[in-house]
Amino acid sequence: MGFTTMTGGGPGVMEAANRGAFENGGTSVGCNIHLPFEQLPNKYTNKSITFRYFFVRKTMMIKYSYAFIILPGGFGTMDEFFETLTLVQTHSITNFPLVLFGKKYYTPLVQLLQSMANQGTISKEDLSLVLITDDIDEGMVHIKTYIEKNYMLKPRRRNWFLFETASS
């Protein structure tokens, strides 16, 4: 669809996503975080920015995204997922598809969310805010449907993002 691939900029699946875009002529951005014990920027980015604070990184990733594709991860992944889901649920951001890849991995989370809906702490409609799948095509169709329905995107002459100006 011509979008920039933006990740947390680190190793593992973040590096794989950046590498896929980088090696196929797409634009690849890493939004790294300065940590005392891990996460150096991966080498498959056209632009890498290192943030000092998680909240700034999350804000920038949400601001410059049209969708989130979330793969199995740890505390940081869950933090970013739930903050974004809350923003969608409260209509602070709209028309923003969230896709969780890994049905088996996310089964306990889905069960927890269903339990929360059954107990009334979230609405049952909130469960429809996330697509949970193992099918790449299903995830991409979900995102493409949101984008085509809600945005009039026009090709840009120059890709610029994250602290650059059109003249830089």
pLDDT single digits (tens) 58-86:
999 999 999 999 999 999 899 999 999 99
The CATH code that applies to domain 1-65 is 3.40.50.450
pLDDT band at 34 (very low <50, low <70, confident <90, very high): confident
pLDDT band at 166 (very low <50, low <70, confident <90, very high): very low
Q: Average pLDDT, stretch 4-17?
A: 92
Strands (E), 14-166: 28-33, 47-51, 68-70, 98-101, 130-133
Q: Where are the domains of the chain?
A: 1-65, 83-155
Q: Give the integer Cα–Cα distance in Å for 117 and 40.
A: 39
pTM, two decimal places: 0.83
Of 74, 5, 82, 63, give the one whose Cα is nearest residue 38. 74
Q: Calculate Rg over the CA atoms of the chain.
A: 16
Query: Does position 168 have pLDDT exceeding 80, yes or no?
Result: no
